[in-house]
Structure 1
Amino acid sequence: MASIASRITLTGGACLLAGCAGWQALPDQATTQLPAPDPLRKFVASIDAPSGSKPSPDGRKLLWHALYGRDVTTFVRAAEGGDAAVFRLGRTLPYWACDSRHLIHESDPEGGGNTQVVLIDTDRPGATPVNLTPWKGSASHVIHAGDPQSGKLVLVSNRRDTAVFDVYTADPATGKVDMVWKNNGDVTRWIMDVDGSVGARVRRQDGQYFLQVLGKASNTWKSVSAWPEMADIRPIRVDRAAGSVFVMSRLSADAAGATADTGTERGLPCRMPASPQGLLSAR
């Protein structure tokens, strides 16, 4: 900043000494060919803007993004400072895996709904990213960025059957991907436990949705709640040790039978009950 200020001061002094005789006339706007405006600027005030930094899970690195034109550039550097590694990944934003080394990047390179999960090694910026799900005609999404014990990511993919999503684990260290839960055809949502493992699922049967929890000791599924198809109830996370489930809903108070605000979305921590009313009651 000091060097910039010095240059400005010198330039201003030279202009005063010369009587500013070197100023050029402003161009005629009628004859000047201006570049066509970017259509994105009709909707976005500034498309050349950096994002806030996001620390890695261990706090030793920082991740941030800058949007230049229509492409996103991602930067990673040590939290204490130094040079930043630069990753140009297109228009979608990567995020940290639990190992604080890899970035998870979900993208659809062909634009046909074939979302793939790619790992970027921030310790080796020049290395080729590892595509964990290079399966044509399928879509894959991460539902858990990994836990410190195993380090494995949890993702869902419709590789086996495009109509349903199975559960896979992926090891960032080796790139190995394994199926751990097979969808029997009526599972609409897989839900993670706070302990980092799959702890529940939602099944759709006979016009109803059923929340089923996986017993830790028995390794079997048990239905703990049910609600009609028209009810917008979405379990997000479970804590089997505490017997709790975190739910998102847009239900009105009358439809939910609970104190939910009409037309608004809320996260409701609650106990795992046997009725929709209990499912939406925060405790």
Structure 2
Amino acid sequence: MNSDVQQVTNFFNTKRLRLSIILVIFGLAYIGASIGLGFQTQSLLNVQAGIAWLIHNFIPNEASQGYWNEIIQQLFRTFIVAVASTTCAAVVSLFLAIIGAQTLTPAITVSWVIRCLSSLLRNIPIVAWAMILLFSFKQNDLTGFLALFFMTLGFLTRAFMETIEDFGTEKIQALQATGATYLQVIFQGLLPEIAVALMTWILYMIENNVRDATLVGLLTGTGIGFIFNLYFKSLRYGAAGLVVLSVIILVVAVELISNLIGRLLS
């Protein structure tokens, strides 16, 4: 009995020691970062003043109600760019995933090339994509579309490849054993089975791209991001707050619709 109690005590002492070490490491990391950045801890005491300023200035008022028409137009424009870039990237990603998945690839070299390409595309931040493309395509909707397209292409290609590989080599071999051709295996065996999973990934990326399209608009001078920047710089804080509110409503609505579609498909 005493040995059991001793074991329990030693266990909790070990856990407590590990927790203390972790807390010390985080504390030292915070102190080091604060010194390196010149951050003053007492600045945190003024956070409530900043929050109070935001609440006072960014809550939409009567003067900002007249901006609804322009905001809705730009919000719809942003939504269209996000959906168009996602759907176009999904089509290309599906093709790349089929020839890149290890269970279907014509050559292992092709699979590795596609994997490296998808890793490169998705690991470049959306802001970096927008800045790179901005020099070639200037400030327009095409720049935002391409930035979202390339990032989505990398993400969906990898996601689709993993989904296809989860289908299993045994199932593909069983279909081929019945005399099914390569295209029959894909279009009549594989795609109907993984259609729900693919649609789930596409819906997820639409949600994500609706949010990212707002940030891209700040850089490309288009959509809802552009008018937010315009209102903010012209000190029309109430209108800028209305833009933030409209983006939140759109993102929540897209998420609810995506969840509903997901439940219907499943």
Q: Give the TM-score of the pair, scaled to structure 1.
A: 0.23
- TM-score, length-scaled by structure 2: 0.24
- Higher relative contact order, chain-length normalized (CA < 8 Å, sep 6+): 2
Structure with the bigger percentage of helix: 2
Structure number having the greater strand percentage: 1
